[in-house]
Amino acid sequence: MAFIKINKENFFHNLSEFTKKTGSKESIAIVLKDNAYGHGLELMAKLSSEFGLTQAVVRTYNEAKKIKKYFKQILILGDRAIVDDSCSFVLNSLEDIEKAQIGSMVELKVDTGMHRNGIAMEEIEEALKGIEEKELILKGVMTHNRSADELSSELFWQQKNFEEVKKNVVSILSNKKIRFHSFNSASSLRLSCKNEDLIRLGIGAYGYSELPNIYDSLDLKPVLSLWAKRIATRQLKKGERVGYGGTFIAPKCMTISTYDLGYGDGWMRSNSFNSFIIAEGLPILGRVSMDYVILESNKDEVCIFNNALNAGKQLKTISYEITTQLHEKLERGEI
Ligand SMILES: *Cc1c(COP(=O)(O)O)cnc(C)c1O
C-alpha cells in the first residue's frame, strides 16, 4: 500500500522556529486534530512530546484519550465537557455550558468576527455567570481569527475586539487567573508571540504557510511525503489507451507501471483531470482509480508529493486539504 514518510528533523526544525517566536515550548499547543492534519495522530503526538511540547489541541475526547500520555494538558475543540484533569473543553455556545458536566474544565470561545463558533461579545457576562453556576472550572478565554492568512488589516480589528474581550473578562472575574489565546499559525507568523499565553500551532508545525510570500518570516520545511509502490509494469504501443475511460492515449511507445495509490487512500480522483505532476516530475496518466494510478516509470517506489503547498497549488486547494484527506490506514513512519 502507498505509505507516508514523516521527516522528524524538519518537524523539530519547524517547532524550533516557532519556539524562537514564543520564547518557550510551554506556550505552544500543537494542533493534532483530524489525525494531525493527516500526518498521524499518535506519531505526531509522540514526536511533539519528544521535542518538549507539553500541550496539544484536538477535536474530540476520543482523540485526546489516545495521546494523553504524551502531554500535560489537552484542549478539546468540539466535544461535550466532562471531568478530566488533563483536558479542557472549548465552550462554543451558551448551550455548551448547559451540556457541560459539573466540575469540568472549560475554555470559553468568544466570537470576535469569524461568526463560526463562540458566544457573542455581548454574551460574556451571561456566559461567565453560567460557568460559575454550573461549577465549571474556567481555564481560558479564546477566539479564532478569520483572516490571519490574508493580506489585509482584518486581523488587526479582530485582535482589537479580543483586547476588549480580555478587559471585559478581567473586570468581571477580578483576580481569578485565566489564560487568553487567539493565535493560529498565520497569526503567529505575522505578529509577535512574546506576550501570548498560548499559541495554537497547526499547519506551520507541519511546514506550511498559506500566507503571501511577504510574510515568509520563518523558514518552514514540509514534514510529510507521500509514496506509492509499483504493482505491475507493461509496454504500451503508440495509440493504446490507459485506465478507466481510456482517457490517456499513448503518443509513443511507453513503459508504464501501476502504483498502489488511489482515491480509496485519499488521493482525489478529480486530480486526474488536471494531470497531476508528481514530485518526480511525471504526470499521472489517465484517471485515478480506487487503488491505483499509472505513471511512465518502472521504479519500485515513487514520491507522489513532498510539499503539500505546491501540490495544493496544482490542484487549486490548500495544503491543509491535501494532507488531511490522506487515509488513516496508510502506514506512516518517521525518517
Ligand atoms: C485548526 C485550528 C487552529 C490551528 O490553525 P492553523 O491555521 O493550522 O495553525 C487553531 N485554533 C483553532 C480553534 C483551530 O480550529
Q: Find all residues with CB under 8 Å of 273, minimum gap 6, and list them.
A: none
What's the CA gap between 303 and 328, in Å, rounded?
18
Whole-structure pTM value: 0.95
Ligand 1 atom nearest to 200, measured from its CA? 10
- Residue 171 CA: distances (Å) to CA of 60, 126, 177, 310: 32, 14, 12, 47
Q: How far is the CA of 28 from the centre of ligand 1 (A)?
A: 12
Q: Which residue's CA is minimally distant from atom 4 of ligand 1? A: 202
Predicted local confidence at residue 65, as pLDDT: 98
CB 118 within 8 A of CB 78: no
Ligand 1 atom nearest to 184, measured from its CA? 9
Pocket test for ligand 1, best of 18, 31, 147 (most atoms within 8 A of CB): 31
- Residue 100 CA: distances (Å) to CA of 74, 96, 133, 134, 173: 17, 6, 12, 8, 20
Which residue, 97, 96, 111, 129, is CA-closest to 165?
111
Would strands 28-31 and 55-58 be described as parallel, antiparallel, or unpaired? parallel
Which residue, 333, 240, 231, is CA-closest to 289?
231
What's the CA gap between 321 and 203, in Å, rounded?
11
Using one digit for the tens of pLDDT, what is the confidence trace for 3-26?
999 999 999 999 999 999 999 999
Pocket test for ligand 1, best of 57, 88, 142, 182 (most atoms within 8 A of CB): 57
Using one digit for the tens of pLDDT, what is the confidence trace for 53-66?
999 999 999 999 99
Handedness of CA 292, 295, 300, 305 (dihedral sign): negative
Ligand 1 atom nearest to 37, measured from its CA? 8
CB 299 within 8 A of CB 229: no
Q: How far is the CA of 245 from the centre of ligand 1 (A)?
A: 40
Q: How far is the CA of 209 from the centre of ligand 1 (A)?
A: 12
In this structure, the residues whose C-beta lies within 6 A of any atom of ligand 1 are 31, 33, 77, 144, 184-186, 200-204
Angle at 52 between CA 329 and CA 71, to 5 degrees: 60
Using one digit for the tens of pLDDT, what is the confidence trace for 103-143?
999 999 999 988 888 999 999 999 999 999 999 999 999 99
Enumerate the active-site residues. 33, 244
Q: How far is the CA of 182 from the centre of ligand 1 (A)?
A: 9
Q: What are the extents of the domains in the chain? A: 7-206, 224-334
Q: What is the CA radius of gyration of the chain?
A: 23
Using one digit for the tens of pLDDT, what is the confidence trace for 255-271?
999 999 999 999 988 87
Band the pLDDT of 51: cuts 50, 70, 90. Answer: very high
Angle at 205 between CA 202 and CA 209, to 5 degrees: 80
Q: Which residue's CA is minimally distant from atom 15 of ligand 1? A: 77
Q: Which residue's CA is minimally distant from atom 13 of ligand 1? A: 144
Handedness of CA 140, 146, 150, 153 (dihedral sign): negative
Q: How far is the CA of 93 from the centre of ligand 1 (A)?
A: 18
Which residue, 112, 259, 135, 120, is CA-closest to 182?
112
pLDDT of 280 > 90? The answer is yes
Q: Which residue's CA is minimally distant from atom 8 of ligand 1? A: 202
Residue 276 DSSP label: P
Q: How far is the CA of 273 from the centre of ligand 1 (A)?
A: 31
What's the CA gap between 242 and 246, in Å, rounded?
5
We find that the CATH architecture of domain 224-334 is Beta Barrel (2.40)
Side chain identity, residue 330: L
Ligand 1 atom nearest to 148, measured from its CA? 7
Sequence-ordered alpha helix ranges (H) in 176-271: 185-190
Handedness of CA 57, 58, 61, 65 (dihedral sign): negative
pLDDT of 147 > 80? The answer is no
CATH number, domain 7-206, options 3.60.15.10, 3.30.200.20, 3.20.20.10, 3.40.50.300: 3.20.20.10
Using one digit for the tens of pLDDT, what is the confidence trace for 74-83?
999 999 999 9
The cell for 93 is 455556545
Ligand 1 atom nearest to 109, measured from its CA? 13
